[in-house]
Amino acid sequence: MNQMKKTKIMDEKAIGRALARITHEIIEKNEGAEDICLMGVRTRGIPMARILAENIFRFEGIEVPVGTIDPTIHRDDLSSARKAELAGDCHFPCDIKDRTVILADDVLYTGRTARAAIEAVFAYGRPKKLQLAVLVDRGHRELPIKADYVGKNVPTSNHERISVKIDGHDEESAVYILKDL
C-alpha cells in the first residue's frame, strides 16, 4: 500500500481569507456583481461557488445565482463508457446570455477539467463573459488555460497531489499537499 505524507498548506482561516480576496477581485473586475452567475465545478467547486455567493451578498447586498456544472461528458481523457458512468447533472440557475459566468473550482492543474467545464457552459448557451476562479493553482498546464482569480499558487511536482477539503462537503476546511513516502 502506498503511504502518503500529508502537509497542511491552508487552514480554514487561510481559505476564508483567500475566498474573501477572490470575491473582492470578482466585484472589482466586473464593476459590481449584478450580471454574475457562479457555476461550481463538481465536486468541491460547488461549495466554493456558494461561499463566493455568500461573500458577494455580504459585501454588496446582491444575491448571485449559483449553479452546478459537471464537465465529465466533455473530458478528452476518459473513455465514453467511463464518461457515462461518472457523469452527473448540470444546473444552470438562470439564462446566461447576458451574464458573466464564473466557473469556481478547487484546483487548477493540467487545465483539462477547466476546458471541459468551458465546453459544458457553451453547450448550454453563450455567456457575455466567462471567467475562472480557483482556490489553488498548482501549475503543470497541458492546455493554455489561466485562472482569472487564484486563492493560492502552489508549485508542485507531478508526483504530488493537492487535496482540498471544504466544510459543508467535508468534515473540515483545509488544503493539503500529499507526497509519496
User: Coil, strand or helix: which one is 61?
Assistant: coil
> Bridge-partner residues for 121, per DSSP?
none
CA distance linking residue 155 with residue 142, whole number of Å: 15
* pTM score of the predicted model: 0.92
Angle, nearest 10°, between helix axes 12-29 and 45-60? Answer: 60
Peptide bond between residue 43 and the one before it cis (omega within 30 degrees of 0) = yes
Average pLDDT, the chain: 91
pLDDT reported for residue 73: 78
pLDDT tens per residue across span 63-95:
999 999 998 877 566 545 444 444 457 899 999
pLDDT tens per residue across span 106-126:
999 999 999 999 999 998 999
Query: CA angle, 56 as apex, 55 and 61 as ends, to 5°?
Result: 115
